[in-house]
Copies of this chain bind each other. A is one copy, B any other.
Amino acid sequence: MSKPTEEIVQTLKRKQLRVTPQRFAVYANLLSRTDHPTAEQILSDLNQDAPVSSQATIYNCLQTLREVGLIREVLLEEGNCRYDANVQPHHHFRCGSCGAIADIPWQALQTIDLSHLNPDWQVSGYEVTVHGTCEACQA
């Protein structure tokens, strides 16, 4: 999922965003991982060698990136907002033991027919959350 630097820069510019070191770092970090980190995890990852960004800026960057549709939130546990640079439709698996979240490709599950739901609703999409235990957490 990791992209070359120049491609990331172009992606940000295409969204009319100034390419600051912090914003680049946050987006590049999210693109490089598939573990749906929290803001706090991104912060400590970026600053582990040398200070790169403040906490407030991480939150600002995440919010901005979300507003332009480059990243999205994943809400699967209380009080923990996780982020995902994969904005294509896909599903998630969550380990109830360790909290790990993994992607499930859209095509891995059959398409669900939503045509018989409440006709008053204007449906725009859906996603499936699968619950279970990951390999590492099985006794």
Does the CB pair A126–B117 fall under 8 Å?
Answer: no
For A13, what are the chain B residues with a Cβ–Cβ distance below 8 Å?
A: none
Indicate whether A118 sits within 8 Å of B133 (C-beta atoms), given known contacts A73-B78, A110-B112, A128-B112.
no
Once bound together, how far apart are the Cα atoms of A29 and B123, in whole Å?
Answer: 29
Q: How far is the CA of A131 from the CA of B128 in the complex (A)?
A: 11
The yes or no answer to A116 lying at the interface (CB within 8 A) is yes
Copies of this chain in the oligomer? 2
**Binary interface encoding of chain A residues 69-99 relative to chain B, with 1 for a CB under 8 A from any of its CBs, else 0:** 0000101111101000000000001011000
Q: Chain B: which residue is nearest A109 at the CB level?
A: B112
- The residue that A129 contacts in the complex, of B93, B127, B138, with Cβ under 8 A, is B127
B127 and A132 within 8 A (CB): no
Q: A123 CA to B135 CA in the complex, in Å?
A: 11
Q: Complex Cα distance A134/B110, Å? A: 25
Counting CB contacts under 8 A, is A130 at the interface? yes
Q: How far is the CA of A74 from the CA of B133 in the complex (A)?
A: 20
Whole-angstrom distance between the Cβ of A77 and the nearest chain B Cβ? 7
- In the complex, A120 has a CB within 8 A of chain B: yes
